Copies of this chain bind each other. A is one copy, B any other.
């Protein structure tokens, strides 16, 4: 999903039935480049402004909405309720740090399998599951350092 050329981006826009406008190309490029940081519309807008001085915040909002509708991006709401965007549209979980307000992706095949198995053994009547995700809340010990996940052998 990363390091797409502009032509590849143009291509995927067309595949989704969207016109490949300059604004859409640079917005999508920015979100994939910022992969892992879950930017807000404002973040994207600020990042694009220097190189695209005429782009408007409203367009960034509309564009991100459109991308979410077509499934190119996933919307994640922060603990504070602001909307953030994730170029990782695969099933994955999120770690929320209440100290730094960061949202860190947490992909784990085993966890996914565990939950898939669990939910296949329940019957949710009158509800069609589209997706699931685990939300881990807590806070960083050292706010400046990264969070890393290692496996402990049983």
What is A's interface to B at a CB cutoff of 8 Å? 77-83, 95, 97-98, 108, 110-111, 114-115, 118-142, 145-152, 154
B123 and A149 contacting across the interface, CB-CB below 8 Å:
yes
Nearest-CB distance from A94 to chain B (Å)? 9
A121 and B81 contacting across the interface, CB-CB below 8 Å:
no
B126 and A145 contacting across the interface, CB-CB below 8 Å:
yes
- Interface pairs (14), CB distance under 8 Å: A77-B77, A81-B82, A81-B83, A95-B127, A110-B118, A115-B134, A122-B151, A126-B141, A126-B145, A127-B140, A128-B139, A128-B141, A132-B137, A133-B135
* Closest residue on chain B to residue A130 by CB atoms: B138
Query: In the assembled complex, which residues on chain B have CB atoms less than 8 Å from the CB atom of A122?
Result: 108, 149-152
**What's the Cα separation between A115 and B132 when bound, in Å?**
14
Query: In the assembled complex, which residues on chain B have CB atoms less than 8 Å from the CB atom of A121?
Result: 151-152, 154
Query: In the assembled complex, which residues on chain B have CB atoms less than 8 Å from the CB atom of A82?
Result: 81
10 new A-B contacts, CB < 8 A, other than A126-B142, A132-B136, are A81-B81, A81-B82, A95-B124, A114-B118, A121-B151, A121-B152, A122-B151, A126-B141, A126-B148, A127-B136
* Closest residue on chain B to residue A150 by CB atoms: B123
B129 and A152 contacting across the interface, CB-CB below 8 Å:
no
* Closest residue on chain B to residue A151 by CB atoms: B122
A128 and B134 contacting across the interface, CB-CB below 8 Å:
no
